[in-house]
Amino acid sequence: MKLSNTRVVIMGASSGIGAATAVAFARQGARLVLGARGKAGLEDVVHRCRQAGGEAEAIVVDAIDADAVAAFAREARTILGRIDLWFSNVGAGVVGKYAEVPIADHRRVIETNLLTHMNDAHAVLPIFLEQDHGIWVNMISSGGFVAAPYAAAYSASKYGLRGFSEALRAELGKRPNIHVCDVYPTFVDTPGFSHGANYTGAKLSYPPGVLSPEKVADAVVDLARRPRPTTAVGAPATLFRLSNFAAPNLIASAMNTYLDRWAKRADRVPDTRGALYEPPRGASGIHSGERRPAQPQNKALIVGAVALGAAVGMGLLRRRSG
């Protein structure tokens, strides 16, 4: 089913998942308004959307500024006539042991990952309520279910986003045409690592078999057709969720051990704040350019580890209830 009559707003649209989602909607004939801090990145994505056969306009906006987001929403509605789907996709990260990262950078991650999404919802929900329809898509990540050592502020923001969505769904329970939809992908091949701050002294790299941004984009587009509360993208996402429920902290502890070893062995790089405070220079594109295909043994190792964690957790639960 084509989405040629659908009006879409994407925040955080200048690269990565946001850019891929804009192009995916454009291929379906949707009309789009795109927002982000970086003008060059937005212009690149608008060009990609028009090449894909869609209509797109860009507005430079700092999503941390609530007043600017409210003005952006009003302008987007004027351009589109209405807003059918709003995709909140702004995000950032800091990698490093919590005590070794400046507290200002932790604060910036919370502002970028949590408050921007709250600003988005505060701006668009009155529009949805007036229209009596609308879909708010909240990009979270599997980090909303499993804590990430070396990224404590990121974990706090993602857990916060999950709670925020649950509260909004409860408030909107009597408005059946207004939907709050969460998306939980695992690692995705985007420029995100190059945009993030890094205080480990070690070069960041994606693990083999990360998701393509296009796969996540397709999941978001599908929500325009069939909105639902929770969408996990990538097989480990659901397994992580179940395993962490059964055995809290097991995966996080294993990840911490792995990251401790990685930080000692990886190539050395200087500390950087990445794009936390300023947009990247130029267009970043959709992919990192570093994606490696998953090896069968890597997939088996991930699935096996999660399954083992779930089994151990269920065993402990049975003992407690017995």
Cβ atoms of 9 and 56 within 8 Å: the answer is no
Each as own residue / partner, the long-range contacts of residues 122-128 (CB below 8 Å, 24 or more positions apart, any chain) are: 122/66, 122/69, 122/70, 123/66, 123/69, 123/70, 123/72, 123/73, 124/9, 124/73, 124/83, 124/86, 125/168, 125/178, 127/73, 127/77, 127/82, 127/83, 128/83, 128/178
Is residue 136 within 8 Å of 181, Cβ to Cβ?
A: yes
CA dist 295 → 145, 155, 203, 322 (Å): 25, 28, 22, 41
Catalytic residue among 150, 154, 159, 258: 154
- Least Cα distance to 116 among 61, 178, 75, 167 occurs for 61
Ramachandran region, residue 184 (left: φ > 0; alpha: ψ -120 to 50; beta: rest): beta
The answer to whether residue 184 is catalytic is no
B/e letters for 159-187, b = 16+ CB within 10 Å, e = fewer, are bbbbebbeebbeebeeeeebbbbbbbbbb
The residues, any chain, with a CB within 8 Å of residue 15's CB and separated by 6 or more, are 36, 38, 41, 45, 190, 191, 195, 280, 283, 284, 285, 286
- In angstroms, the first-to-last Cα distance of the chain is 51
Active site members: 154
